[in-house]
Structure 1
Amino acid sequence: MRGGSARGVNVGRGERDVVARGARLDEAARALVDDHGRAVQAVRTALKPLLDEMVRQELDVIPVARLQDVTEGRLRLGSVEEGGLRTVGQVLDAGPYRLRQIPGVGLRTVDQILAAARRLSEAAYETVAVHIDVDRPEPRTSALVIALHVLVEAGPDARRAVDAAGGLAARLGPLLSDAGPAAGRVRMLLAGRDGRARALAAVGELRTVVDEADQAGTPGLLAQASVDLLRGSAGDVAAWVDFELRSAEYYSLLAEISATAPDSAAAEGFLPEEVAERVRGQHLDDAHRRVSLRGYQAFGARFALAQRKVILGDEMGLGKTIQAIAALTHLAAEGQSHFVVVCPASVLVNWTREIEARSALRVLPLHGPDRHDAFADWKGRGGVAVTTFDALRGFPAPGGGEVGMLVVDEAHSVKNPKTLRSQAVARWTERCGRTLFMTGTPMENRVGEFRNLVRMLDPALADSLGERDAMTGSVAFRKAVAPVYLRRNQEDVLAELPSLQRIEEWEELSASDEEAYREAVRAGNFTAMRRAAYASPARSAKLNRLREIVREARENGQKAVVFSHFKDVLGVVREALDTGSADDGPVFGPLTGGVPPARRQQLVDEFTQVTGPAVLVAQIQAAGVGLNMQAASVVVLCEPQIKPTLEHQAVARAHRMGQVRSVRVHRLLATGGVDERMVRMLEDKDRLFDAYARRSAVAEATPDAIDVSDADIARRIIEEEQARLGVTGTASAVSRMAPETSEPKG
C-alpha cells in the first residue's frame, strides 16, 4: 500500500515545469484579455457622451403621441401635452414627480408613460450611429478617435492574439486547477488517489497545450499584443492623421464595439435562409490576412468559399477586392498554393499592390514580354498570378485541382460568349474548382448578360433563368440566382462607415504614354511629364481606367467630378467621357479659370439638378474653392498635385455637409515616373498638412497660405528621371514650372 502511494506521489521536475509553464501562459493570456478589455472600455467611455447627445436629439423631435404606438393606444396623453410636455425627451426629463403633478395623470399612467418613453430611448440607442467629422474635430470626438487609435494600431495580429488568449484561458484554467497538486510532493500526497490521478492527467494535457502554443509562437504573439495595447496613443494629432488614412478600420471597430452593425438581411444580400445559413457555417481562416473585415465583407468571402463558383456583385466602394483576398488567404491556410486573378490591364498594378499589402501571399504579375517566364515561375513555386484578359489566352488551361481559386475582376467584360477573352475565361472556369466573378455593375436589369456569366459557373441555373425573374422584382430575382449571386448596396451596409474613401489607382504607362513621357523628361519639361499619360488618348492607360471608373458610376446612377490641373487634359477627358448616350447622362464643363464665376456656379447647378448620372469636368484650381458639389459621390483626380492643398480643397467640394452618400476619391497615378516620385516626396509634408493646415479656416480660404512644395521638388524629380532613363536634359525645371504654379484668372 505504501509502495503504491509512493509511486502515486512521485512528482518530478518535468511535471512541475509543465505546471509552471502553463501558469505563465495562463497569466499572459488573462493579462492580454484584461488589457484588451480596458482598451475597448476606453472606446465605450468616449463613445457614450456622443451617443447620449445623438439620442437626446432624436427624442427631442419625437412627439409625445408616439408613446401611443408603443402601448398600442392604451395611454391617454392629452393631459400630458396640455401640461407642456410635447416630446418624448421632455417626458423623460420631467420624471415621475413632475408627471404626477399634471391633473388627470395618475400613478399607473405615469409608470406606463415612462416605460414607453424608455423603450423608445433604448430603440434610439440601437439605431443611431456616430459619424466622426474630420473637418470639425472637438474634444469629445478627439477622445473617441484617440481611444480607437490604440486598437487600430494594434492591428489584426492583436485581434488574433486576443482570440487565442481567450481560448487558452478557457482551457488552461480548469487544467491548472486539476494539476495544482503536481506542483509539489506534499500537495500531491494530500490530494488523495483520485486527486493525484486527475493531477497527472491534467499535467499531460497541459504539456500538450503549452507545447502547441510554443510551436505556434503564441507566447510571443501575446506579449507583443500586450505591448501594443499598453503603448497608448501618440497624441490627438497622430490619431487624427491616422484616422484620415485608415478611417474604414476605425469605423469597423466602432460598429463592432457599439453593436451598430447593418441589418443582417441586408449585409447578407437578402439571400434565402437556406443559402445564408450554409454561408454562415463556413469557417474563415485569417492566418495569412493582414486586414480586418467588416461583417458583410466576411460574409462575402464565406459566400465565395461555401458556394464555390459565384458572382460577387457588390456596389462600387464596398471592398470586393478585400473579400477576394480573404477567400484566397483562407484557401492558402488550408494548403492551396496556386491562385489566379484575371483583370483589365488598368487595374493589374492595383491588384498586385493590394495582395502584397493585405496578405502574406506571394504575388506575381503575368504581364508584358516576360509573362511566360513568370508563368513558369508561378507553376513551379505557386502564389497569386495576376494577369490580364488578353494575356490569359496565351496560357494553357490548368489541370483539375491545380488552381485553388480563379478570380475574375470586372467580370462583365466577359458577358459576350463569342469573344476570345470570354472563351478563355470559360475554359479556365471549367478547370477550376472555385471561381469568383466580381462586378460592380448591377445585373438585375441585364438578364441576358447575366445568364451568360452564370452559364460559365452553373449551366443548369443559367438555363432556368428567364426575363420573368427580373420582372417579378429584385427580391424574387435574387432568390432565383441566390446560389451564385451576392450583391449589397452602399445604402444597405454603409450606415456606420465614413463618408470619404480614398483609392489610389496605380497604372502602368502604355507604350505611347512611355514615349511621350521620355520626350518630356529629355526636354526637362515638368508639366509635360505630368501630362504625358494623356498625350495619346486612344492608348492612354490612365484614360482607360478613368472610363471604367465613370462607367461604373453611371451604371449605379451616381454623379462624378473629374479634376485636372491642365486644360488640355480636361479637353481629352471630356471627349472620352461624352458618349452621347442619354443613359450615360450629360457631361458638363470643362469648368476652368477662364469661365466667369457666375457661369461656374451655373454649371455646378445644372450638374446638381440632373436626375441620375452626370459628369462634371473641372480644373482643380478653379473648382477647389467656393463651389459646392455635394451631388457628386465619385471624385477622380487625373494626376497628383504639387500642392496638396488643391487636392484637399477639391475633394472638400463634394465631401461636405449635405452629402448623403459615401464619397469615393480615385487618384490616378502612373508607376515608375513623376507621379510615384511626387507621391513619395510629398508624403511627409502632406501628412503634416492634414494634421494642421486643413483644420484652418485660413487654409480653406487661401490655398497658398501653406505651400508645402517648391520648385526644388520639380528640379529634383527631373534630374532623377533623366538619370533613371539615361537621357540628357535640355531645359531647366524652374522655367518649365512657371505656367503651372500660377493660378487661373477669373
Structure 2
Amino acid sequence: MSETSVDVPIKSRQARQVVEEATARLADARLLLASDGPYRDKVREAYQVARQVRVRAELRTVAVEELELRRKKLRVAVLRKKGFRDVPSVLEAGVDGLVEAGIGETTARPAVAAATELADEADADLRFRIDVDPHDPYATDLVRSLRMFGAVTDARHRHYDDARRLHAVLPQYLGPAQVLTRWWRRLLADSGGRVEAAAAIGALRNALGASSPDLATAAGQVRVVTAGGGADGVWEDFERRSADYYGLLSQVVDLGDDHEAAEGFLPADVVRRVEAQPLDRSLLHANLRAYQAFGAKYALVQRRTILGDEMGLGKTMQSLATMTHLAATRPDDDGPAHFLVVCPASVVTNWAREVTTHSSLAAVVMHGGDRDTAARVWAASGGVGVTTFEMLARLPLPEDLSPTLMVVDEAHYVKNPETLRGRTVRTWSDRADRVLFLSGTPMENKVAEFKAMVGYLQPSVARQLDPNAGVSGAQAFRRIVAPAYLRRNTEDVLTELPDLVQVEEWEQFGPADGAAYRAAVAGGNFMAMRRAAFAVERAADSAKLLRLRALVDEAVANGRRVIVFSYFLDVLEQVMDLLGDVAVGPLTGRVKVAERQEMVDSLSGPAGPSVLVSQITAGGVGLNVQAASVVIFCEPQVKPTIEAQAVARAHRMGQTRTVQVHRLLVEDSVDQRMMEILDTKAALFEQFARQSEITETSDLAVAVGDPAGAEVPSEAELGRTIVAQERERLGAAGHPERGESEEPAGVR
C-alpha cells in the first residue's frame, strides 16, 4: 500500500521516533521510581566496614595488658608470648584463632570477651567522620556508595511527580501506537486501528511535551554514577559537597546528630504538630539533615519565629526548605508565591546563588543600579526577592503585596525597632503571611534586645519577657520564648565536624611596637592601643607581623588556605604589604558585594591566592569560606560573638579539614586585659537562650547555642576600664615619655 493511500497523515519514521522516545522516557521513569533500597543498603554496609576499621585503628594503641583490667585472672603473659600484643589482634583471632595458636580455651574466651567490651566502648565513643584520603579503600567505598545513593535520591526528589505521570500514561498508548511504526502494520490494520494509533501517537506527543527535559538527563546521570562512572573524581566531589554527603549518610545511619532532650517545657501537642508537619522537597535540590528538616517544619508550624542556630548549621538551607514547601503546596489559583529575603549587602550575592543552586525557585536581586526594575519583575512574577536592609524602604513595591514568607537574615541588625531599618522591617513583617528571623547571635548584649526581636514576630510572647530578669529567671525565660525561638549547637548536631584547634599566640613587644603602645596608653587612646603592635615602619619591628608571617608560611607549605581577620583598616593594609601576591584583599565594607564573593571564590581556585585578608565586620558575617582551614585574628574583638561568627565562616558544615584558629596576642597589654574581661561574658546568654525549649522536647531537634554574652559592658566602658588599668600599670598618666631603661617587664 502506498503512503498516500493511508488515511492517517503520520509517516512511519515520525511514528517510530515518537514511540522510541516514549519507550526511552518510560525506562527513565521506571528507573527513577525504582526503590533506592539497594543503594541504601550499600551505604549502610560500607559505613559499618569503615566504622569498624576506624575502631580497630584506635584500639591498635591499646596493649593486650588492658584486658587484665577487665578480667582479673586473665593470663595476659600467655597472650603476649604467642604474639598477641594489642586488642585488635585478639579480636581478629577470635576464640578459635587463639586456641589454634596454643592458648587454652579458659584463657581465650575471657580474653575475647574483654576485647569485645573494649571495642564496643570505643565504637560508642567514636565520633565518625570521613577523612579525605583517596588511599583509604574503605572510606573511598563509602564515598562512592554515597554518591550512588545521592544520584538516585536526588533524581527521585526532583522528578518523582513527572516520572509517576509518565509511568501511568505512556504504557496505555505505546501498544496502539505501534500500528503506525511500520508499513506492514499499517497494511494489516483496519481504518479504526489506524485512527486509534494516530490518537495514541498524539497522546504520546502530549505526554512527552508536558514532561521535563531534565528527567532524561537525571536518569542518564543515575545510570552513569550507579555503574561506577566518574569514580575517579569522587573525592574531589566530596570536598566540594561534603555537607550533602553527610546529609545522605544521616538518612541511612545514626550519626549521633539527634539526641533526646532530658527535659522540655514546650507543650507536647506543639511538638507533635511540628514532627507531623509534612515537608514537600520536590523543588529543593539538596539533602537535609534531620535537624534541618525539623527547623523547616518548625518554621511552617509556628509561622513567625526566630531560627537561632549557631553559625554553620545551614539556616539558609532551612529557609529554602520552608520556601520550596510553600511554593510546591500553593494552590495554582493563588498566583505566584513571593518570598522576600532581607539581608546585609555582603550576603546578597550568596543568597541568590543558594536559591539558584539548591532550589527550582527564581532568584531576583533587588539591589544595585537596576533594583527598581528587578523589584517590578519580582512583584509581577514572584520568586525569591533578595534585598538589603537599606534598600527595602526604597523599592517601588505595591503596598498591598503580601509576601508568602519574609526571611530576615542576620536579624540582630534590627534589634532596635526604633531605627529606620527596624521600622521598615516591622512594616513588611506585618504584611507577610509568615516571617522567619535568622540569627546566630539573637541576644548579643541585652535580654531587652532579644525581647524586641520577638516583638516583631509574636508580641504576646514578647510581653511575657522580663528584660531585667537575672540568671535565676533563665528557665522561665526559655519556656516563654519556646514558641518563637529554636536554636541548636554545632557540637550537638554536626558530630562529623573536624576538630577546632584554638591557639593563643602570646608575643612580647620589641622596642618599636612597645614604644607605639606606650604612646597610645599615655594618650588614653583605646583604639590606638589595640593596633599598636602593627604601628611600625618595618615588619621586622612587629612581633605580631613576624608571627603572622610564620603562621602563613607554614599553612601554605601544608597546602592550607588562610583567613586573616582584623577590625582595623590600617592593620589590614600592613598585612597585605607583608603577604604580597600570596594574599587577596582586603575585603572591607567598602568593597562591592559582588567583588566580595569573587574574593572568597578565588580562595577556592586551584591557582588562586592562599590567604584572604578581611575586615572582621565585613567578612566575618554571611560569607562561607570553608576553603580556608586556618583563621588568624590580629587582635581580640570587643564582642566574643564577632570572633565566633568569623570562626564559623570556616568551621562549618562542609569543612573537611581540622580548623586552626590562631589569636595574635601580646603579654601585659590591652590584649591580655581584653581576654581577661571578655572571658566572663558568656554565662548569662548560656543560661537564657542557649537552648530553646522545643529542642528539649523533640527527638528530632537538638539544642545548640552561642557563647554570646548578655548585659555586658559597652565598648566605651570596656575601653575606659582597660585604659585606666594600663595607665596605672605603666605609670603613663604622669609619664607620657619613658626611656628604654624604664620599660616595664613584658612591654619590650
TM value normalised by structure 1: 0.55
The aligned amino acid for 2:223 is V
Matched, 1:140 2:68: no
Matched, 1:223 2:151: no
**Shift in CA distance, 54/411, structure 1 to aligned 2, threshold 3 Å:** same
Q: Distance between the aligned counterparts of 1:230 and 1:644, measured in 2?
A: 46
**Shift in CA distance, 287/124, structure 1 to aligned 2, threshold 3 Å:** same
- Partner of 2:406, secondary structure, is strand
Shift of 1:627: 6.4
Match of 2:316? 321
Q: Distance between the aligned counterparts of 1:680 and 1:363, measured in 2?
A: 23
Q: Distance between the aligned counterparts of 2:76 and 2:600, measured in 1?
A: 67
Shift of 1:424: 1.6
Q: Distance between the aligned counterparts of 1:227 and 1:403, measured in 2?
A: 41
Match of 1:446? 446
- List aligned pairs for 1:542-561, cutoff 5 A: none
Which structure shows the bigger proportion of residues in helix conformation? 1
Greater CA drift, 152-161 or 381-390: 152-161
Match of 1:365? 365
**Shift in CA distance, 672/32, structure 1 to aligned 2, threshold 3 Å:** closer
Shift of 1:223: 3.4
Q: Distance between the aligned counterparts of 1:267 and 1:497, measured in 2?
A: 24
The alignment of Structure 1 onto Structure 2 pairs a total of residues equal to: 532
Shift of 1:464: 1.3
Matched, 1:304 2:304: no
**Shift in CA distance, 340/592, structure 1 to aligned 2, threshold 3 Å:** farther
The aligned amino acid for 1:316 is M
Q: Distance between the aligned counterparts of 2:488 and 2:590, measured in 1?
A: 26
**Shift in CA distance, 93/292, structure 1 to aligned 2, threshold 3 Å:** closer
- Partner of 2:385, secondary structure, is strand
- Kept after mapping to 2: 8 A contact 1:247/1:498: no
Match of 1:232? 228
**Shift in CA distance, 481/498, structure 1 to aligned 2, threshold 3 Å:** same
- Partner of 1:339, secondary structure, is strand
Q: Cα deviation per residue 1:2-50 (whole Å; 9 max; x = unaligned)? A: xxxxxxxxxxxxxxxxxx9999999766655779555555555654543
- List aligned pairs for 1:374-523, cutoff 5 A: 374-395=374-395, 402-441=402-441, 443=443, 446-466=446-466, 471-472=471-472, 477-497=477-497
Equivalent in 79, 82, 104 of residue 73 of structure 2: 79
**Shift in CA distance, 93/368, structure 1 to aligned 2, threshold 3 Å:** closer
Matched, 1:128 2:129: no
- Partner of 2:380, secondary structure, is helix
**Shift in CA distance, 29/317, structure 1 to aligned 2, threshold 3 Å:** same
User: Which structure 2 segments of 5+ residues have no match?
Assistant: 1-19, 80-84, 177-202, 331-335, 506-515, 566-571, 610-626, 628-748
**Shift in CA distance, 24/440, structure 1 to aligned 2, threshold 3 Å:** same
Q: Cα deviation per residue 1:696-735 (whole Å; 9 max; x = unaligned)? A: xxxxxxxxxxxxxxxxxxxxxxxxxxxxxxxxxxxxxxxx
- Partner of 1:54, secondary structure, is helix
The aligned amino acid for 2:140 is A
The aligned amino acid for 2:552 is G
Q: Cα deviation per residue 1:442-498 (whole Å; 9 max; x = unaligned)? A: 538732111111111111111112358772487664433221111111111111245
**Shift in CA distance, 677/455, structure 1 to aligned 2, threshold 3 Å:** closer
Q: Percent identity?
A: 36
- Kept after mapping to 2: 8 A contact 1:288/1:333: yes
Q: Distance between the aligned counterparts of 1:162 and 1:117, measured in 2?
A: 49
- Kept after mapping to 1: 8 A contact 2:273/2:301: yes
- Partner of 1:78, secondary structure, is coil
Q: Cα deviation per residue 1:502-531 (whole Å; 9 max; x = unaligned)? A: xxxxxxxxxxxxxxxxxxxxxxxxxxxxxx
Match of 2:188? none
- Kept after mapping to 2: 8 A contact 1:266/1:493: no
Match of 2:276? 281
Q: Distance between the aligned counterparts of 1:322 and 1:365, measured in 2?
A: 18
Q: Cα deviation per residue 1:671-713 (whole Å; 9 max; x = unaligned)? A: 66798599689957569xxxxxx9xxxxxxxxxxxxxxxxxxx
TM value normalised by structure 2: 0.55
- List aligned pairs for 1:727-746, cutoff 5 A: none
- Partner of 1:360, secondary structure, is coil
**Shift in CA distance, 58/47, structure 1 to aligned 2, threshold 3 Å:** same
- Partner of 2:74, secondary structure, is helix
**Shift in CA distance, 668/143, structure 1 to aligned 2, threshold 3 Å:** farther
**Shift in CA distance, 499/220, structure 1 to aligned 2, threshold 3 Å:** farther
The aligned amino acid for 2:51 is L
- Kept after mapping to 1: 8 A contact 2:412/2:442: no
The aligned amino acid for 1:242 is D
- Kept after mapping to 2: 8 A contact 1:635/1:666: no
Shift of 1:233: 3.9
The aligned amino acid for 2:464 is S
Shift of 1:96: 3.7
Q: Distance between the aligned counterparts of 1:644 and 1:42, measured in 2?
A: 49
Q: Distance between the aligned counterparts of 2:537 and 2:268, measured in 1?
A: 56
Shift of 1:328: 1.4
Match of 2:326? 331
- Partner of 2:375, secondary structure, is helix
- Kept after mapping to 1: 8 A contact 2:94/2:112: yes
Q: Distance between the aligned counterparts of 1:162 and 1:362, measured in 2?
A: 18
Q: Distance between the aligned counterparts of 1:228 and 1:269, measured in 2?
A: 48
Q: Cα deviation per residue 1:412-451 (whole Å; 9 max; x = unaligned)? A: 1111122121122112212212001111115387321111
The aligned amino acid for 2:54 is M
The aligned amino acid for 1:234 is G
Q: Cα deviation per residue 1:81-117 (whole Å; 9 max; x = unaligned)? A: 666779865664564458899899599xx5x986786
**Shift in CA distance, 334/559, structure 1 to aligned 2, threshold 3 Å:** farther
The aligned amino acid for 2:385 is A
Q: Distance between the aligned counterparts of 2:311 and 2:130, measured in 1?
A: 22
User: Which structure 1 segments of 5+ residues have no match?
Assistant: 1-19, 69-74, 177-181, 183-207, 501-556, 561-570, 605-617, 651-664, 688-693, 695-746
**Shift in CA distance, 667/444, structure 1 to aligned 2, threshold 3 Å:** closer
The aligned amino acid for 1:355 is V
**Shift in CA distance, 459/314, structure 1 to aligned 2, threshold 3 Å:** same
Shift of 1:310: 0.6
Greater CA drift, 456-465 or 238-247: 238-247
The aligned amino acid for 1:357 is T
Match of 1:295? 290
Q: Distance between the aligned counterparts of 1:117 and 1:164, measured in 2?
A: 51
- List aligned pairs for 1:491-640, cutoff 5 A: 491-497=491-497, 590=534, 595-596=539-540, 599=543, 618=548, 623-626=551-554, 635-636=563-564
The aligned amino acid for 1:263 is D
Q: Cα deviation per residue 1:128-165 (whole Å; 9 max; x = unaligned)? A: 3443444x542426623761574388386424269779
